Structure formats: structure tokens, C-alpha cells
């Protein structure tokens, strides 16, 4: 099985405790328990890789810039009366810390959010309420998790997020309210014509991400309505998390990492650019749903719609060709604005608009005043880069 295969003496008991028991609590796994959890959930999220490769990927992703130094936290629900490595893991998940901006009436506050991922309970423990117990405890806990009044930018956690793959109702029961979750899909397509947009490499991204952060902050400063506007910051570490994950998987599947991380068109001040990643969810077959995801689309000047449409078409043609080369079924652009939808129509490219009902439902738990729904909260830039 390989050197990363779990060889722990983790014990499973025949008697499953009541999910309401006072003896259950949320804690952090030992290294052995973490490995055992990854081994179990590989069936859900590791089918594009062999088990040893999936375990290696999960271990590797704890070391990348966004995740290290406490950025990534693993959680398990267990019985406190049993010793570590001898207690059944009743439910598990992980949280990834990311920087955010919140604006109300033009006043901006910096903070952190925690994105919840890999919510899992092994089949024999499902239907017993363990995942529900874990989530009920985790939601309020994250409001203060890693908040530090002595560190600028970490003095508040105004909300937490997750992306539901089981519809809109389950997580809403615990306070994670579903927000608009749509995308535009473009088929992958080879292209023999010269490209008019410029491909983006790793070396281009840090500067562009820094500019994008300024644009996001400026847009929040200029809000005109009474809503609270929130945005995950599309910084370099966030993009790099997606790209390093992508590189690892591509090296295992293809023996090489992709060098094209996006594309850009236009002159400074009126540019359009997209940063993307390749997502592999199973074998290289159409039914696996493997996708080139546009992580972030940036339009420097939104007033020139027709000119921008020409630039966007040039960018999307590179994206479609990259999807074809890497055996991905299609390209997805999440939660496009009305301006972007108009631009897409003007490109003349084949596309479809999709409202997601079952998978990747963007959901947010608001810790402040108000309903916490889209009536009160405007999630700015709710694009794929926020996914975890």
C-alpha cells in the first residue's frame, strides 16, 4: 500500500454512542487519526488518484503557504472517555483560514474567515447524528477560532463559509445560509488559430493578485446600498493553494505540471484577466466531471463592454484549449455578474448558464447582526477562488 498507508491500531467499537451524549466532543486528531480519516474519505474525494497518492496530497497540502502555521485545522468528533488512537472517529472535517474584507456604509473592516471542507462520517456511523453534532458545535466555535486582538487583520471572524455538495437544506439547518450559486459553462475546444490573449504563468500572478486586492477594496469602499458587503481577498496565497493542489494532481496523472495558470488581454488600465485551475474528480472520463475552473475574473474597466467582450473571448479560447489539452470536459465561470453575462453573450462562444441546486452551493454563516441572508449580505466576488 505504500509508506503513507495507515498502520495505526485505531479501534472501532460495536456500540455507537448517542450523538447527544455529554461524552462526545470536538477536538483535533493525532497524526495517526488524521491519516486514518484521509484513508476513509479518499472514496469521496480521492478517486482521481491512487490511495497512496491521495494520502500524500493531503499531507502535502498541510504545508503550502495558505495552510501552514495554523492556516489549516483538522477537527474530529470523538468520545472523550477513550484515549487517542483508540477512539472511533465519529465525524470529521477541516477548516482553512482566509483573509476577508467587510464593508458597511463604506467603512471597511479586515478579518478572517474559516472555510469548512471535507465534512465526513464513515458509512457505518451515518444516520446517527454525529455530523450534525459536529457542525452544531463547530459553527459558533469558529467565531472566535484563531481571532487575535494583537494581530492586525485577525481581530475578528465575521462569518464562516462552506460549499455544500448535498443541496441547500442540510447545512442551512445549522446556520450556513445558501447564497446564489450559478455558473456559465463552456465546452473544451481545441484551437489551431494564434491566440490573441497572453497566457499567464506563475511569475505573473503575484503582481496581478496585489492589484486585484486593491480593486476589491475600492469596490467595497464605493458601495451605495445599506447592505453589508463581504469579500474573500483573492490574494496570492489563496490562488497558490489551488495551483499547488493542481500541480500535485497533474504530476501524478500526467507526469508534469501545467504552466498556463490563466490569461490576460488588453492594455494596463483596461485589461481583462482570468486565473484558473484544473479540477480532477475522477478518472479521465467525461462522466467524472473534470473541469477547468476560472478561479477569478478581473475587469479593470467595466464600462467598455464590447471591447471587453473581445478580450474575454480571447481569454476563454485559451481556457477552452487548455481544458481540451488536459482532458477536462468543460470550463466553468462561477457567479458571473450581469455585466459579465452580457460580455459572454457578445463573445458568440457556445455556453450554457447553470443554477446549481445540488453541488458547490456557496453557504455563509454570519456572526453579526441581521438575518445573514442575501437580503442583508452581498457576497462580492463569490467565485471559485473562495472554494475549499
Q: What is the pLDDT of residues 116-143, one digit of tens each?
A: 999 999 999 999 999 999 999 999 999 9
Q: Is the pLDDT of residue 12 over 60?
A: no
User: Which residues have a Cβ under 8 Å from the Cβ of 83 and sit 6 or more positions away?
Assistant: none
Report pLDDT for 122.
95
* CB count in 10 Å sphere of residue 236: 18
Mean pLDDT score, 324-342:
98
4 pLDDT band, cuts 50/70/90, is very low
Whether 324 and 287 have beta carbons less than 8 Å apart is answered as no
Each domain of the chain, given as residue ranges in start order, spans: 24-178, 182-356
3 pLDDT band, cuts 50/70/90, is very low
224 pLDDT band, cuts 50/70/90, is confident
Percent of the chain with pLDDT over 90: 94
Distance CA 75, CA 308 (A): 44
Residue 195, SS3 per DSSP: coil
Residue 71, SS3 per DSSP: coil
**Over the Cα atoms of the chain, what is R_g?**
21
Mean pLDDT score, 309-337:
98
Q: Is the pLDDT of residue 8 over 90?
A: no
208 pLDDT band, cuts 50/70/90, is very high
105 pLDDT band, cuts 50/70/90, is confident
137-145 contacts: CB < 8 A, separation 24 or more?
137/25, 137/26, 137/77, 138/26, 138/75, 138/93, 138/95, 139/174, 139/175, 139/176, 139/365, 141/26, 142/95, 142/114, 142/116, 142/365, 143/367, 145/73, 145/95, 145/114
Report pLDDT for 7.
38
User: Which residues have a Cβ under 8 Å from the Cβ of 21 and sit 6 or more positions away?
Assistant: 79
Q: Is the pLDDT of residue 13 over 80?
A: no
Q: What is the pLDDT of residues 140-179, one digit of tens each?
A: 999 999 999 999 999 999 999 999 999 999 999 999 999 9
Q: How crowded is the C-beta side of 326, counted as CA atoms within 13 Å?
A: 32
Report pLDDT for 6.
40
9 pLDDT band, cuts 50/70/90, is very low
Q: Do domains 24-178 and 182-356 have the same CATH topology?
A: yes
Q: Which one-letter DSSP state was computed for residue 292?
A: E
Distance CA 347, CA 332 (A): 15
Q: What is the pLDDT of residues 46-98, one digit of tens each?
A: 999 999 999 999 999 999 999 999 999 999 999 999 999 999 999 999 999 99
**Strands (DSSP E) along 140-261, which ranges?**
159-164, 177-178, 182-187, 198-200, 228-232
Domain spanning 182-356: CATH 1.20.1260: no
Report pLDDT for 52.
98
Report pLDDT for 11.
46
Residue 230, SS3 per DSSP: strand
Q: Is the pLDDT of residue 258 over 90?
A: yes
> CA quadruple 17, 23, 25, 30: dihedral positive or negative?
negative
User: Which contiguous run of DSSP H or E holds residue 279?
Assistant: strand 272-279
Q: Is the pLDDT of residue 278 over 60?
A: yes
The CATH class that applies to domain 24-178 reads alpha beta
Amino acid at each position: 500500500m505504500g509508506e503513507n498507508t495507515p498502520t495505526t491500531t485505531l479501534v472501532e467499537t460495536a456500540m455507537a454512542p448517542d450523538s447527544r451524549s455529554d461524552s462526545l466532543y470536538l477536538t483535533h486528531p493525532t497524526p495517526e487519526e488524521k491519516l486514518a480519516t484521509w484513508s476513509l474519505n479518499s472514496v469521496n474525494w480521492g478517486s482521481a488518484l491512487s490511495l497512496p497518492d491521495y494520502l500524500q496530497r493531503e499531507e502535502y497540502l498541510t504545508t503550502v503557504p495558505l495552510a501552514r502555521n495554523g492556516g489549516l485545522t483538522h477537527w474530529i468528533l470523538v468520545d472523550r472517555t477513550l484515549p487517542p488512537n483508540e477512539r472511533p472517529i465519529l465525524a470529521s472535517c477541516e477548516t482553512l483560514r482566509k483573509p476577508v474584507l467587510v464593508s458597511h456604509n463604506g467603512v471597511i473592516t479586515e478579518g478572517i474567515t474559516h472555510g469548512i471542507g471535507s465534512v465526513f462520517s464513515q458509512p457505518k456511523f451515518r444516520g446517527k447524528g454525529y455530523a450534525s453534532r459536529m457542525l452544531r458545535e463547530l459553527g459558533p466555535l469558529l467565531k472566535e477560532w484563531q481571532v487575535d486582538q494583537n494581530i492586525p487583520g485577525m481581530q475578528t471572524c465575521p462569518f464562516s463559509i462552506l460549499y455544500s455538495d448535498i443541496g441547500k437544506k442540510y447545512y442551512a439547518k445549522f446556520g450556513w445560509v445558501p447564497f446564489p450559486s450559478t455558473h456559465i459553462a463552456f465546452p473544451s475546444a481545441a484551437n489551431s488559430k494564434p491566440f490573441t490573449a497572453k497566457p499567464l504563468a506563475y511569475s505573473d500572478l503575484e503582481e496581478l493578485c496585489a492589484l486585484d486586492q486593491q480593486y476589491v477594496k475600492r469596490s467595497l469602499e464605493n458601495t451605495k446600498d445599506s447592505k453589508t458587503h463581504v469579500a474573500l481577498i483573492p490574494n496570492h496565497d489563496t490562488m497558490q493553494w489551488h495551483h499547488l493542489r493542481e500541480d500535485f494532481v497533474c504530476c501524478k496523472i500526467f507526469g508534469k505540471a501545467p504552466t498556463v495558470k490563466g490569461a490576460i488581454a488588453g492594455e494596463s488600465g483596461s485589461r481583462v484577466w482570468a486565473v484558473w485551475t484544473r479540477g480532477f474528480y475522477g478518472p479521465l472520463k467525461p462522466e467524472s466531471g473534470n473541469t477547468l475552473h476560472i478561479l477569478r475574473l478581473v475587469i479593470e474597466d467595466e464600462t467598455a463592454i464590447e471591447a471587453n467582450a473581445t478580450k474575454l473571448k480571447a481569454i476563454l479560447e485559451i481556457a477552452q484549449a487548455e481544458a481540451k489539452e488536459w482532458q477536462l470536459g468543460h470550463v466553468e465561470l462561477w457567479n458571473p455578474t450581469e455585466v459579465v453575462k452580457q460580455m459572454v453573450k457578445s463573445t458568440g462562444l457556445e455556453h450554457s448558464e447553470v443554477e446549481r441546486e445540488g453541488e458547490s452551493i456557496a453557504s455563509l454563516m454570519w456572526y453579526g447582526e441581521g438575518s445573514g441572508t442575501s437580503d442583508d449580505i452581498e457576497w462580492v466576488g463569490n467565485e471559485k477562488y473562495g472554494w475549499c
